[in-house]
Structure 1
Amino acid sequence: MEGKGWTFITMPKAASEKLPKRGRIAIQGTINGFAFKTSAFPDGEGSHQFMVNGTMRAGAKAAVGDTATFIIETAGDAVEFEVPDYLNAALKKSVKASAQWVKITPKAKAEWATWITSSKKEETRTARVAKTIERLAKGDKRPSE
């Protein structure tokens, strides 16, 4: 089948054992030598699945049902950002907000920092820091919640 839609691939359990058991994991590798990046998800049965789209199939010169050679590794999902000193100072004053800050993902932290630092006026930044501390203390994970 040559369709342009997605094909689901279930990874062997031995390969899945090397990946986290919960949530999305960024992966990269090759299919028949064709390089790709995508995400794998636990399937609830001890393995992971990921989707192969038409572009990936064409690049790998593989059709649905063909046998293909996969090389897969985790891909860096790192997010680089700076936490402003004034946000760090505010976090130190709130035990609940600090505890939530430790729990959230680096991407979520970057969203909070960007939301705060993207304001042009200092009074807006100050208000956003206060709102961030309030919302983190209530358990919010992202500014868009």
Structure 2
Amino acid sequence: MRVRRFGELEAVIMDRVWDRDEPTTVRGILDEISAEREIAYTTVMSTMDNLHRKGCLERERVGKAYWYQPTLSREQYSASLMHEALHGGGRSDLVLAYFVEQIDAEESAGLRAALRLRRDLPQPKPTESLSQQQ
């Protein structure tokens, strides 16, 4: 799945959805956002519908309302953006090197821990080619 950065309202809505432990409705999101700024129900509804069509939210109809929940966690979405940037911005080895130059010591320690975890996980076995199966 190709990911892209959210627009301003999309990001606000996704943050609200990610902050919940259970599915939510347009009305639930509207009530939170309208406490901070004036916004129409139809604006929130159409933005959540767009996020659904883009594959960011899944929904289920319950009675007359749709209940929405994210298809990816906030962290999975961020990782997808990072992956896209790594492979879409020139030589990936240089992109990664420039990225590492910009992170602080705590982030660097987290990156090293993630790499150690990946190294210690069992690696998938290569699949047989079709010619080997015949």
Q: Taking structure 1 as the reference length, what is the TM-score of the superposition? A: 0.24
Q: Taking structure 2 as the reference length, what is the TM-score of the superposition? A: 0.25
